[in-house]
């Protein structure tokens, strides 16, 4: 039988495909999925469930931002604009118009996706052709503009007070399906698994996107835009399409966030601090890794939720040591210190540095 000769590129892609379904990294992904599936059975505290659900939602949001800054090389300072649009569409349909059916919920998410995609294309067309830094400034301006609109249009958005709403049928908080393996299956638990399923689908879509020929062109543009232009690619069109895709994913993540919280307001969905959080999560997880979003979101969410509790723990364990209690009050200082240590020791983020280490070991074994 005649042996088929493969080019180095073909061999690399075959090896890359094989690694996706084998090896330690594949089993780590399965472990993460199994962990997220078993969380409601492992932890009966709503606080822990709430933190982990937000990690799931923000992982999808951060991964969508990573497509822009890590895979495409364009920096946006207003990516959470689409997150807010997705959340507000759900809030307005459910809370303002009272359209509380499954069909209306799906329609609200769909309109949010379409609106975000169109707005992203509009912003990209008149800003990405010039310079990517201009794109960053324009997206920040749009984020601020929509933030002010959401505060001023009280008749529609509830202004600074925001909108509270109830979800339909089995997603309602007071719904109960009975007990299963000792766990009471409430509307919260069903919402958790629904959002987990949506986040998983979004991740698979993003993985397909970055590993497609289109994604490889994006990486070539990121690494050397002039060479890509010389090869005949209209780079700004690739930027616009990547930005549009990422905005649609962010909009769905925003809709999931609104479904879980049951409340939307300018501060909770459109504030600049949320954009800064997303940026920190990408840096901690690693740019151009996609999975880094999970670790970046976990770091920020867990530290924010549980570091302030250290103060109470220290006061209970060391009641006669005022210095220890005062030191434990500086949780923001420790949070900042941890962030600096991660950036120093993991310059490419947690996942990026781990990937670099694995590649180096593999190259040493090969050659």
Tell me the pLDDT tens digit for each residue of 22-64. 667 778 888 989 999 998 988 888 889 999 999 999 999 999 9
How far is the C-alpha of 334 from the C-alpha of 192, rounded, in Å?
Answer: 31
Q: What is the pLDDT of residues 229-245, one digit of tens each?
A: 888 888 888 888 999 99
How far is the C-alpha of 359 from the C-alpha of 353, rounded, in Å?
Answer: 10
Residue % of the chain over a pLDDT of 70: 92
Q: What are the two backbone dihedrals, phi and then psi, of residue 355, each rounded to the nearest 5 degrees? A: -65, -40
How far is the C-alpha of 95 from the C-alpha of 86, rounded, in Å?
Answer: 14
How far is the C-alpha of 257 from the C-alpha of 198, rounded, in Å?
Answer: 11
Query: Are 217 and 238 contacting, i.e. CB atoms less than 8 angstroms apart?
Result: yes
Q: What is the pLDDT of residues 94-121, one digit of tens each?
A: 888 888 788 888 999 999 999 999 999 9
pLDDT at 81 over 60: yes
Six-digit token pair at 250?
Answer: 């962010």
Q: What is the pLDDT of residues 331-342, one digit of tens each?
A: 778 878 888 888
Q: What is the pLDDT of residues 110-163, one digit of tens each?
A: 999 999 999 999 988 877 766 667 888 888 899 999 999 999 888 888 888 888
């Amino acid at each position: 039988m005649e042996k088929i000769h493969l080019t180095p590129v073909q061999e690399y892609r075959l090896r890359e495909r094989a690694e996706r379904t084998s090896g330690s990294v594949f089993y780590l992904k399965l472990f993460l999925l199994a962990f997220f599936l078993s969380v409601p059975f492992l932890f009966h505290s709503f606080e822990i469930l709430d933190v982990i659900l937000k990690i799931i939602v923000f992982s999808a949001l951060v991964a969508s931002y990573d497509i822009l800054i890590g895979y495409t090389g364009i920096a946006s300072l207003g990516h959470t604009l689409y997150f807010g649009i997705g959340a507000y569409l759900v809030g307005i349909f459910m809370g303002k118009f009272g359209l509380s059916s499954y069909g209306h919920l799906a329609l609200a998410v769909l309109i949010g996706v379409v609106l975000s995609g169109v707005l992203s294309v509009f912003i990209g067309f008149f800003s990405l052709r010039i310079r990517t830094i201009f794109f960053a400034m324009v997206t920040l301006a749009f984020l601020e503009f929509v933030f002010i609109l959401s505060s001023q249009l009280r008749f529609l958005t509830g202004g600074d007070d925001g909108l509270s709403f109830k979800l339909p049928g089995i997603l309602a908080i007071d719904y109960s399906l009975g007990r299963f393996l000792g766990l009471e299956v409430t509307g919260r638990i069903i919402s958790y698994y629904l959002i987990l399923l949506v986040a998983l689908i979004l991740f698979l879509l993003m993985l397909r996107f970055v590993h497609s020929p289109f994604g490889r062109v994006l990486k070539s543009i990121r690494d050397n835009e002039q060479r890509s232009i010389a090869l005949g690619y209209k780079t700004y069109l690739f930027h616009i399409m990547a930005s549009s895709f990422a905005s649609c994913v962010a909009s769905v993540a925003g809709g999931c966030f609104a479904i879980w919280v049951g409340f939307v307001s300018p501060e909770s969905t459109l504030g600049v601090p949320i954009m800064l959080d997303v940026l920190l999560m990408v840096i901690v997880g690693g740019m151009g890794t996609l999975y880094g979003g999970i670790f970046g979101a976990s770091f920020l969410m867990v530290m924010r939720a549980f570091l302030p509790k250290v103060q109470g723990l220290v006061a209970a364990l060391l009641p006669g040591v005022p210095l220890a209690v005062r030191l434990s009050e500086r949780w923001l200082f420790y949070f900042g210190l941890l962030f600096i240590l991660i950036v120093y020791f993991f310059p490419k983020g947690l996942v990026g540095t781990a990937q670099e280490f694995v590649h180096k070991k593999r190259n040493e074994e090969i050659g």
